[in-house]
Amino acid sequence: MTKEFKRLDGRANNELRPVMAKVGVIPNADGSAIFAFGDTVAIAAVYGPRQLHPQHMQNPQKAYLRCNYDLLSFSVSDRKKPGPNRRAQEISKVTEWALSPVIDLDGFPSTVIDVQIYILQADAGTRTAGINAASMALAHAGIPMRDLVCSVAAGKQDKTIVVDLSKEEEDFEEGEGATDFALAKVANSDEFTLLQLDGKISPETVPEVLSVVTEVCKEIYKIQKKALKEAIKNGSN
Amino acid sequence: MKKTKQDTDNQELSDSSSSDSESLEVKRIVVIPGEVIVSGEDYLPSEGTKRIGQNVVASRYGLAEIAGRVIRVIPLFGAFIPRRGNVVIGRVTDITFAGWLIDIDTATSGFLPLDECPRFINKDEMDQFLAIGDVVAAKIWNIKTKGIDLSLRSRGLGKLEGGYMFRVIPARVPRIIGKEGSMITLIKEKTGCDVTIGQNGWIWIRGESIDEEIRARKAIEHIAEQVFVSGLTDHMEEWFTKN
């Protein structure tokens, strides 16, 4: 690269948007959390372990982690028609896959752990914000877990690897075209639980992306940890 | 990460009131799942913790209690996980030929069989003893994969009439009961109310007057919020002089 690359909002290539995280935002839920990457805001509520209906879905060996991700109708500038669509179903499913490796599902046979994720405001990276919120909410609900899950999207602006893209950056079509690479990682190990690539990236650059994301995830983990610890310090519910 | 004990963002507190009467040094720190509590071969991982190599790691979010060699995590949030021997408060949802189905806020519903009642009940007159919608305090005597069996054969169990019910986070119930029931005895003494606490977080109060019932409820809700106060019984004695 000859030219010095500069991001639209002046961030460094490995810099996150301002992050906000808090747990215990929904008193009626067993666990809840809110997580924001800049203008992307996700809220997650956890209920259970509780009875699973329909009964034929019950697994006598382990609990079923049921995630439901959705955009609220006012979260995007063109009103989103309420209710699940193909995109929401897919993201719900990958969220389940991203979170289930860290949760001790064997402890609660024949039950369901419900995770509701809603996007209050969307500005790219909603699934990653949702996974971060859900991971905190699951911990807050007292579910036995191996670790937390941290999630962030990486991408390319022409040839430069950047993390946590905003909507403007995600639509950046110049050079090699728009690339959006959503990842989720188990905080204290090298396991990745979500890799979703939209766009083009060469196989040689993938390890580089993973190492950048690993560093960024440490930051996210710190924020999640702080939010969880402060909830008890304040003695709130 | 290794020396979590010295982490600056961990709040520490030594609590003598809730430890055993021996002068064991008890230390409490907030932990999140996957966090190393202590490392060393000497420690014994107990509830809510796991040993991974040299380290004792928290598997739940809550307060890690380091009492001598024993490490455990006291949960502060979450749904009720039933255990044998728990006294719970539930509502009758259905009557079958052999007993009552009772909703006790668990994944599998509770079943109270006819022969676990303290007296003989005619099968035709089951709804005269417990009708649908009635509230009952019962003890869990068996947990099977397909259900939880309840019993009324113990002191203080049975149908709850009058008074009113509210819910707290189930994980806070042990604090409300106190060491050997010290806290609940104090509340009963100070307010003159009849209080039944279910391990599932439901609490039933009946008192002489509504004012006293509300006072008891406020006291209980106050306790449920005081997660970090040591010597809570003394703290509550003081609270009652003010409220």
Q: What is the DSSP annotation of B103-172? A: E-SSSS-EEEEGGGSSS---GGGHHHHS-TT-EEEEEEEEEETTEEEEE--STT-EEE-SSEEEE--GGG
End-to-end CA distance of chain B: 44
Q: Judging by DSSP bridges, how do beta strands B62-67 and B70-75 pair with one another? A: antiparallel
Residue among B34, B77, B227 minimizing CB distance to A147: B34
Residue A4's pLDDT band, with cuts at 50, 70 and 90, is low
| Chain B contact residues (CB < 8 Å to A) | 1, 9-11, 30, 32-35, 48, 59-63, 75-79, 81, 106-109, 145-146, 169, 171, 224-228
The predicted model gives A86-114 an average pLDDT of: 96
The predicted model gives B216-228 an average pLDDT of: 89
Residue B228's pLDDT band, with cuts at 50, 70 and 90, is confident
User: Rounded to an integer, what distance in angstroms lies between the CA atom of residue B106 and that of residue B113?
Assistant: 18
Q: How far is B78 from chain A (nearest CA, A)?
A: 4
Residue A75's pLDDT band, with cuts at 50, 70 and 90, is very high
The predicted model gives B110-114 an average pLDDT of: 94
Measured between beta carbons, which residues in chain B are less than 8 angstroms from residue A146?
A: 33-34, 59
Question: Percent of chain B having pLDDT more than 90?
Answer: 65
CATH code given to domain B87-160: 2.40.50.140
Residue A176's pLDDT band, with cuts at 50, 70 and 90, is confident
Residue B234's pLDDT band, with cuts at 50, 70 and 90, is confident
Residue A175's pLDDT band, with cuts at 50, 70 and 90, is confident
Domain borders along chain B are: 5-75, 87-160, 164-242
Look up residue B152 and give its two tokens: 């009324």
The predicted model gives B216-225 an average pLDDT of: 92
ipTM: 0.89
The predicted model gives B159-169 an average pLDDT of: 93
| Chain A contact residues (CB < 8 Å to B) | 24, 30-31, 47-52, 60, 102, 104, 108-112, 139-148, 187-188, 224-226, 228-229, 232-233, 235-237
Residue B23's pLDDT band, with cuts at 50, 70 and 90, is low
User: Rounded to an integer, what distance in angstroms lies between the CA atom of residue A226 and that of residue A221?
Assistant: 8
CATH code given to domain A19-226: 3.30.230.70
CATH code given to domain B5-75: 2.40.50.100
Nearest to B21 by CA among B190, B160, B136, B180: B180
User: Rounded to an integer, what distance in angstroms lies between the CA atom of residue B112 and that of residue A155?
Assistant: 58
Per the CB < 8 Å rule, is A30 touching B79? yes
Residue B242's pLDDT band, with cuts at 50, 70 and 90, is confident
CATH superfamily of B164-242: K Homology domain, type 1 (3.30.1370.10)
- B164-242 shares the fold of B5-75: no
Q: How far is B89 from chain A (nearest CA, A)?
A: 17
Environment class of B238 (CB within 10 Å of its CB; exposed 0-12, middle 13-18, buried 19+): exposed
Q: What is the pLDDT of residue B146?
A: 81
Look up residue B123 and give its two tokens: 């099968």
The predicted model gives B143-147 an average pLDDT of: 85
Residue B232's pLDDT band, with cuts at 50, 70 and 90, is confident
Does A1 have pLDDT greater than 70? no
pTM across the whole model? 0.90
Helix (H/G/I), strand (E/B), else coil: A29: coil
Residues 6+ apart with CB under 8 A from A173: none
For residues B44 and A232, the model is more confident at: B44
Question: Percent of chain A having pLDDT more than 90?
Answer: 84
Q: Pick from A38-42, A48-52, B236-240 the range whose average pLDDT is largest.
A: A38-42
Residue among A143, A188, A229 minimizing CB distance to B30: A229
Per the CB < 8 Å rule, is A49 touching B109? no
Does A16 have pLDDT greater than 50? yes
Taking only the tens place, the pLDDT of each residue in B44-86 is: 999 999 999 999 999 999 999 998 899 999 999 999 999 999 9
Quote the mean pLDDT of chain A: 93
Nearest to B66 by CA among B12, B116, B8: B12
User: Rounded to an integer, what distance in angstroms lies between the CA atom of residue B126 and that of residue B124?
Assistant: 6
Look up residue B170 and give its two tokens: 């189930």
For residues A6 and B191, the model is more confident at: B191
Look up residue A203 and give its two tokens: 């196989």
Residue B71: which H helix or E strand, with range?
strand B70-75
The predicted model gives A109-132 an average pLDDT of: 96
For the four alpha carbons of B97, B103, B104 and B106, in that order, the dihedral sign comes to positive
Measured between beta carbons, which residues in chain A are less than 8 angstroms from residue B102?
A: none
For residues B226 and B137, the model is more confident at: B137
Amino acid at A60: P
Q: What is the pLDDT of residue B28?
A: 87
Residue A227: CB atoms within 10 Å: 22
